[in-house]
Structure 1
Amino acid sequence: MPLVEISIVAGRSPEKIRALIHQVHAAVRDSLDAPDEAIRVLVREIPPAHWAAGDITKAEQEASRER
């Protein structure tokens, strides 16, 4: 049973996340010949204050852009 885990910064619309799930599911199905019912896709939304690169959180990046 294929399991795909995706972590993204929170803030995208439910429609965008649904489209991501659909496209990832299709890619796994097509590349592995896995049956639809066996494929699992998990999307974790991480708050911007909990996601950092270079010791700067996404929340801090967004705040600096607003100034």
Structure 2
Amino acid sequence: MPIIQVQVLKGRSDEQIKGLIEDITEAAVTNLQVRPEQVRVVVTEIAETHWGAGGLTMKEIKREREVK
């Protein structure tokens, strides 16, 4: 039974998350030869202030992009 964990920034709609879960499940079924009901997908949403790159939070990075 595959358990697939995905982390995304907060702000996606329920429909987007559902679509992601469906697509990941389909990929697991195709590539791992398992049944859909065997696939578990865990989506964890991360706040922009708790995700960073290059010493900046994603909130800061987005703010910088808006200024440019």
TM-score by length of 1: 0.90
Q: Give 3-state SS (helix, strand or coil) of 1:24's partner.
A: helix
Equivalent in the alignment of 1:19: 19
How far 1:44 sits from its partner (Å)? 0.5
Cα distance between partner residues in 2 of 1:57 and 1:7: 15
What is the identity, as a one-letter code, of the residue corresponding to 1:55? G
Aligned residues with identical type, % of pairs: 37
Count of residues in Structure 1 that have an aligned counterpart in Structure 2:
67
Cα distance between partner residues in 1 of 2:65 and 2:32: 42
Cα distance between partner residues in 2 of 1:33 and 1:66: 44
Cα distance between partner residues in 2 of 1:26 and 1:5: 15
How far 1:66 sits from its partner (Å)? 4.1
Deviations 1:23-59 (A, max 9, x none): 0000001111101211100100000000000011111
**Alignment RMSD (CA, Å):** 1.1
Give unpaired runs (5+ residues) of structure 1: none
